[in-house]
Amino acid sequence: MTTHGVEDRVLGGERQTAGLWTHKGKLVVLGGPVVLPTGTVQERVGSYAQLVAWTLPTSNVWTETPVQATADFEGGLVRIEFNVFLGCPTKGQRIVWGIMLNGANPDQALGALDAPENNFGMMASGTYYVPSEPGSGRIGFGLYGPAGTQIYAALPSTLYLTEQRR
């Protein structure tokens, strides 16, 4: 059987093709491998990876840091992976971090640090998932704490955005 110049064969209920074949409904693959086009299951849509030195200018106000990325989303679930080297200037003070969507305050804090000594530093690392809306949007790393809280430039700060596609 030839369809649009491509030879197809039906053998015992099994269809073999040398070209593109579309299917509606449940698809069961026996054997393998299954090769899907790039971007059909998930795709990295944005990233930030830089050495950045930055200081929180205002006390106890959620502030979006320079660790952020803008991307075009299709409305799928977005996996956010982050790694930021933080420092708290004052013993006994607390800094809190979260993910800010288009500059809005986070829905929840993802971590906190109560500094046991002056200029105490630690890595804020994690993976977080958020739903996206179709269109362009910004996802950033946000901080809340005393003025003078720092992102240290000793290690690169990273933020990777991967959208799940269906």
For 133-165, write each residue's pLDDT tens digit.
999 999 999 999 999 999 999 999 999 999 998
Contacts for 81 with CB less than 8 Å, ≥ 6 apart: 126, 127, 158, 159, 160, 162
Q: What tens digit of pLDDT does each residue of 80-137 get?
A: 999 999 999 999 999 999 999 999 999 999 999 999 999 999 999 999 999 999 999 9
Whether the pLDDT of residue 3 is over 60: the answer is no
Q: What angle do CA 143, 146, 150 make, to 5 degrees?
A: 60
The class that CATH gives domain 42-164 is: mainly beta
- Predicted local confidence at residue 10, as pLDDT: 56
Q: What is the pLDDT, as a whole number, of residue 25?
A: 72
Single pTM value for the model: 0.77
Going from N- to C-terminal start, the domains of the chain cover 42-164
pLDDT at 34: 76
